[in-house]
Amino acid sequence: MSIKATLLRSGMIIKHEGDLHMVYNVDHRTPGNKRAAMQTRMRNLRTGAMIDYRFRAEDFIDKVTVDEVEFEYLYSDGEGHHFMNTENYEQMALGNDIVGDSKDYLIPNMPVKIEYYDGKPIGVLLPDTVDLTVVETEPSIQKATASAVMKPAKLETGLVVNVPPFVGEGDKIKVDTSEGRYIQRVQ
């Protein structure tokens, strides 16, 4: 189904340059006396890479409809990442090519949605935020308040994010899955 670029919205899945992309945000720009354009930020569903792209307002884009099926993440091993369908309890293993950067946020028993296009899994849809435990970071500074100074922290999944100085090892933090950034400490 083709739609005009001006109808692009966050969350849509489109076919762009032969690959499927999920649109994360859209900004309609009309600079002075020039032509209008749709500035988009989208994620390639095959590679997981985030790209910025500007569509002209008069461009037509192929909108894709995908099926989302509820799954529960179980574990990862040498064969891939294992998921269980919550309806019929069938298990399935997906490789890194399909899971992409989502693997950095997967923790056992986490509910996720797996997207299907033409009967094949194409990606893993994560919740907006995930609570992860800090396993390695510099010691916390006494009487540290939230300041502009951040320090790196390694999380239980291997992901490294910047956190405020008061976050220490063993703390649970909330992480934004779309940008991979620290939001807050969880009590």
Residues 81 and 110 in one domain: yes
Q: Which of 33, 64, 95 is the last residue of a domain?
A: 64
Both structure tokens of 65: 């409809």
The SS3 of residue 96 is helix
Both structure tokens of 147: 């300041």
- Find residue 75's DSSP bridge partners: 82
Residues 106 and 72 in one domain: yes
Sequence-ordered strand ranges (E) for 30-103: 37-44, 50-56, 60-64, 67-77, 80-85, 91-94
How many structural domains does the chain have? 3
Both structure tokens of 187: 């009590």
pLDDT tens column, 44-66: 877 778 899 999 988 999 998 88
Residues 55 and 12 in one domain: yes
- The angle formed by the CA atoms of residues 57, 46 and 94, to the nearest 5 degrees, is 150
Residues 78 and 98 in one domain: yes
pLDDT tens column, 90-141: 999 998 878 877 888 999 999 999 988 888 888 888 888 999 999 998 886 6
Residues 49 and 60 in one domain: yes
Residues 76 and 114 in one domain: yes
Q: Which of 64, 83, 101 is the last residue of a domain?
A: 64
**Which range has highest mean pLDDT (32-36, 118-122, 157-161)?**
157-161
Q: How far is CA 130 from CA 35, 54, 127, 152, in A?
A: 40, 30, 7, 18
Domain containing 94: what range?
A: 67-125
Residues 168 and 118 in one domain: no
Predicted TM-score (pTM) of this structure: 0.69
Q: Which of 97, 125, 153 is the last residue of a domain?
A: 125
Q: What is the maximum alpha-carbon separation in the chain?
A: 58
